[in-house]
Amino acid sequence: MSEKITIYDIAEKLNITAATVSRALNNNPKIKESTRKLVMETAASMNYKQNRLALALQSGRSNNIGVIVPRIDSNFFASVIRGIEEELHPHGFQVIICQTHENPKRENENLHTLLDAQVDGILMSVTDVTDENDAAFRNIVNNNVPLIFFDRKKDINGVSSVTIDDFKGGYMVTKHLIDQGCKCIAHFSGDLSLEIFKNRLLGYKHALLDSGMTFDEKYVIQSKSSVDAGKEAVETLMQYDIPPDAIFSSSDFAALGAIQELRARDINIPADFCVAGFSNEPFTKFMELSITSVDQSPLEMGKMSARVFLEQMEKTDKIMIEKKVVLKPELHIRKSSARTTH
Amino acid sequence: MSEKITIYDIAEKLNITAATVSRALNNNPKIKESTRKLVMETAASMNYKQNRLALALQSGRSNNIGVIVPRIDSNFFASVIRGIEEELHPHGFQVIICQTHENPKRENENLHTLLDAQVDGILMSVTDVTDENDAAFRNIVNNNVPLIFFDRKKDINGVSSVTIDDFKGGYMVTKHLIDQGCKCIAHFSGDLSLEIFKNRLLGYKHALLDSGMTFDEKYVIQSKSSVDAGKEAVETLMQYDIPPDAIFSSSDFAALGAIQELRARDINIPADFCVAGFSNEPFTKFMELSITSVDQSPLEMGKMSARVFLEQMEKTDKIMIEKKVVLKPELHIRKSSARTTH
DNA sequence: ATAATTAATGTAATCGATTACACGAAAATA
DNA sequence: TATTTTCGTGTAATCGATTACATTAATTAT
């Protein structure tokens, strides 16, 4: 139907050159006011649309940024992406989404695809911490493409990151459980090669030690982030000579599983057993027995990552900037652990 | 650090022309086997990466597709996007995300931005049904960019769609509530200018009539998709001379709010009151009092939309195809409405 | 041995926009 | 009036890849 209109078409119609049209459209001050107006009006009347691919090729900037996450259908990552999109949209950037499904091979592939696609930056949460993809990360940096890690980061030279203080988060929850009078607190951890889980565990450990309690590795259970994993973990724990009377789970889903299993065993929550999760998934506050959790402010994390990226973009110089932003976690105390009503 | 390598660099090194390099890399059969091998190896050793922007400009295809949704941080839309990404990724397409926040102006803007960005297709859920953006939609079609609506559609000539049978969904839930012995069923609807809500309402209405029950508009409450809206709606309903004994909510969140409010009033669910939602949000099955809901298979919807897009892409001819795919809804009966244990 | 094919590569235009440089005309200055 | 500036446009190269159309070399056919 409607053929693509280029600046050449406008130029032809006005008997001027494409260069003039281009300058007029870009408000180049060297263009006569009358010409500019004429070009603008003609462009509008011909329904001209700038071909951003041509611009991208010529300028070397695609105005696209890539976002890599394990999966998009998780409240946390979706919210981060929302934040990124909202912050970047006003600046004319489009957001390209990639998923790794926790697979390092996919991660590597995504990195290359995005680089090939000439994105102007990559914001991502790493999949795991093997150094398998370190070369790929360095490759990004060497190509002068700003790379920013959010939530799950790795230490790569020249890469900025936006995370939350997982140590503090773990510490806060554990301290809270201790304050509720819990005497033996178990911890569900995730993949300990990831800093986030390592730090939550450390926070847990230090909170225990700081309160004069003992840290015992056998109360740390590595589990997946799923309801079933939580149930299984409780089954294991309840066979101990001294079963715990509280759980700090690094995953809200596992926390939920734990609660379900404990209830199946007629254990009273929070009277006899306290449970707390991490991430503040929407469902934690919806439950009748709402679940205590740590909020990671994903929206803010996304926006902040975007801002760090924008900053990095501005420095056209080859200066390598490395910014580490750490957001504060927020403890939401709910019924699953609130013994005392304030 | 590493300068961008182009086919000209390879050509220079091998003392041949860029054309030959291009052909070799594209496995053009006219190229001598030895040359091809040499080029391939040199390209690899020089760490050559094809500049997809150049390719895009030249071919007029960006290998990007745009996805427009009201917001990404909703389980439904995130899952659809996941489906789209997974289906399109193997075909070399990247997915660009845009959000409208239910704002038609943003929708319009996103459509134009994506068109400017030369996306090869647009997959979207419309924001509302004013004809405000109809020109923009037709513009997309006229530019020969495949446009596919999912979930929330409009009838635009030449636009395909993938939806679920909302009428059937509404009918199934309502029929189920009737089967549970409910005598007066209220309905929470959404924006009735949207087909999805119109059809769910119709399904509700026909299920009532088919069972010899009366349909009364005053039991249809238009509410937002939020917990609070659900609570308020219950407050209104309970003031009626004859309050309902069941609710079919078009939104899981409103259904949850309704349940909370009903419980606050010490009404027994499901014994004295049944509640059902729509969308099968993850939390509906997590609750202690799990919530009956209708699954819309968002993942499948995303994949199907992607497939319809791919089909459309193949037909390079100017033939206008219009495909309407309707997925089957699936009723998940849970505690909030299950009076009889099967 | 010569003409006709075929195989392999080179030449140059193209996609659409930007921009350094060139240039003529008008305006300002001497 | 002659000369220098300034202003507004035009010319042409560039970004990196693809490809229709030569062109040359090698092979086959006559």
pLDDT of A107-118, one tens digit each?
A: 999 999 999 889
Determine whether the interchain pair A50/B116 forms a contact, defined as Cβ–Cβ distance below 8 Å. yes
pLDDT at B215 over 60: yes
The neighbouring-strand residues paired with A123 are A67, A148
Measured in angstroms, what separates residue A22's CA from nucleotide C25's C1'?
Answer: 22
Determine whether the interchain pair A81/B97 forms a contact, defined as Cβ–Cβ distance below 8 Å. yes
Measured in angstroms, what separates residue B48's CA from nucleotide D16's C1'?
Answer: 12
Q: Does A211 touch chain B (CB under 8 A)?
A: no
Q: What is the DSSP letter of A184?
A: S
On chain C, which bases lie within 7 A of the protein's CB atoms? 7-12, 14-20
| CB < 8 Å to A96, chain B | 64, 94-97
Sheet containing B246-249, strands listed edge to edge, beginning at the edge strand earlier in sequence: B220-222, B185-189, B246-249, B274-276
pLDDT digits (tens, 9 = 90+) for B139-175: 899 888 999 999 999 999 989 999 999 999 999 999 9
User: Nucleotide D12: nearest residue by CA–C1'?
Assistant: A19
Contact B53, A118 (CB under 8 A): yes
Measured in angstroms, what separates residue B290's CA from nucleotide D20's C1'?
Answer: 66
Measured in angstroms, what separates residue B202's CA from nucleotide D5's C1'?
Answer: 77
Kindly report, as residue ranges, where domains of CATH 3.40.50.2300 are found in chain A.
61-164+298-326, 166-296
On chain D, which bases lie within 7 A of the protein's CB atoms? 7-12, 14-20
Q: Does B22 touch chain A (CB under 8 A)?
A: no
Question: What is the token pair recorded at A35?
Answer: 């010409």
Question: What is the token pair recorded at A338?
Answer: 């609130």
pLDDT digits (tens, 9 = 90+) for A257-290: 999 999 999 999 999 999 999 999 999 999 999 9
Instruction: Tell me the three state secondary structure of residue A209.
Output: helix
Name the least confident of A175-184, A199-208, B196-205, B308-317. Answer: B308-317
The closest alpha carbon to A69, from A60, A58, A78, belongs to: A78
Measured in angstroms, what separates residue B58's CA from nucleotide D24's C1'?
Answer: 29
**Among all strands, which nt has the closest C1' to B23 (CA)?**
D18
Architecture per CATH, B63-164+298-327: 3-Layer(aba) Sandwich (3.40)
Contact B119, B145 (CB under 8 A): yes
Q: Which of A71, A283, A287 sits opposite B282 (nearest CB)?
A: A283
C-alpha distance from B11 to closest chain A C-alpha (Å): 20
Q: Does A116 touch chain B (CB under 8 A)?
A: yes
Determine whether the interchain pair A283/B288 forms a contact, defined as Cβ–Cβ distance below 8 Å. no
Determine whether the interchain pair B283/A286 forms a contact, defined as Cβ–Cβ distance below 8 Å. yes
B323 in the Ramachandran plot: left (φ > 0), alpha (ψ -120 to 50) or beta? beta
Point out the residues of chain A with pLDDT beneath 50: 1, 342
Determine whether the interchain pair A113/B95 forms a contact, defined as Cβ–Cβ distance below 8 Å. no
Sign of CA dihedral B118, B119, B122, B128: negative
Q: Residue B337 — very low, low, confident or very high, per pLDDT cuts 50/70/90?
A: very high
pLDDT digits (tens, 9 = 90+) for B87-144: 999 999 999 999 999 999 999 999 999 998 899 999 999 987 777 889 999 989 988 8
Contact B97, A302 (CB under 8 A): no
CATH number for domain A7-50, candidates 1.10.3210.10, 1.10.260.40, 3.40.1160.10, 1.10.3720.10? 1.10.260.40
Q: Which positions 159-188 of B are in contact with A (Cβ < 8 Å)?
A: none
Note the Cα B338 to chain centre separation in Å: 29
Kindly report, as residue ranges, where domains of CATH 3.40.50.2300 are found in chain B.
63-164+298-327, 166-296
Query: For residues A131 and B1, which has the higher predicted lDDT (pLDDT)?
Result: A131
Determine whether the interchain pair A143/B1 forms a contact, defined as Cβ–Cβ distance below 8 Å. yes
Q: Which of B51, B82, B96 sits opposite A71 (nearest CB)?
A: B82
pLDDT at B342 over 50: no
Give dist(CA B46, CA B48) in Å, integer. Answer: 5
CATH number for domain A166-296, candidates 3.40.1390.20, 2.102.10.10, 1.10.10.10, 3.40.50.2300? 3.40.50.2300
Task: Give percent above pLDDT 70 in chain B.
Answer: 97
pLDDT for residue A316: 56
User: What is A61-164+298-326's CATH number?
Assistant: 3.40.50.2300
Q: What is the DSSP letter of A82?
A: H
Inter-chain CB pairs, A–B, below 8 Å: 141
Contact B256, B263 (CB under 8 A): no
Kindly report, as residue ranges, where domains of CATH 1.10.260.40 are found in chain B.
7-50
Q: Which of A57, A81, A117 sits opposite B57 (nearest CB)?
A: A57
pLDDT digits (tens, 9 = 90+) for B241-253: 999 999 999 999 9
Q: Residue B254 — very low, low, confident or very high, per pLDDT cuts 50/70/90?
A: very high
Whether this model's pTM surpasses 0.85: yes
Note the Cα B139 to chain centre separation in Å: 22
Q: How many angstroms separate the most distant Cα atoms in chain B?
A: 91
Q: What is the DSSP letter of B147?
A: E
Q: Does B143 touch chain A (CB under 8 A)?
A: yes
Give dist(CA A88, CA B97) in Å, integer. Answer: 12
Asked if strand D contacts B30 at the CB level, meaning under 7 A, the answer is no
Q: Does B72 touch chain A (CB under 8 A)?
A: yes
Q: Which positions 246-305 of B are in contact with A (Cβ < 8 Å)?
A: 256, 263, 282-283, 286-289, 299
Q: Which of B1, B97, B144 sits opposite A85 (nearest CB)?
A: B97
The closest alpha carbon to B162, from B83, B78, B269, B217, belongs to: B83
C-alpha distance from A57 to closest chain B C-alpha (Å): 6
Average predicted confidence (pLDDT) for chain B? 93
Determine whether the interchain pair B75/A71 forms a contact, defined as Cβ–Cβ distance below 8 Å. no
**Among all strands, which nt has the closest C1' to B53 (CA)?**
D16
pLDDT for residue A342: 43
**Among all strands, which nt has the closest C1' to B51 (CA)?**
D16
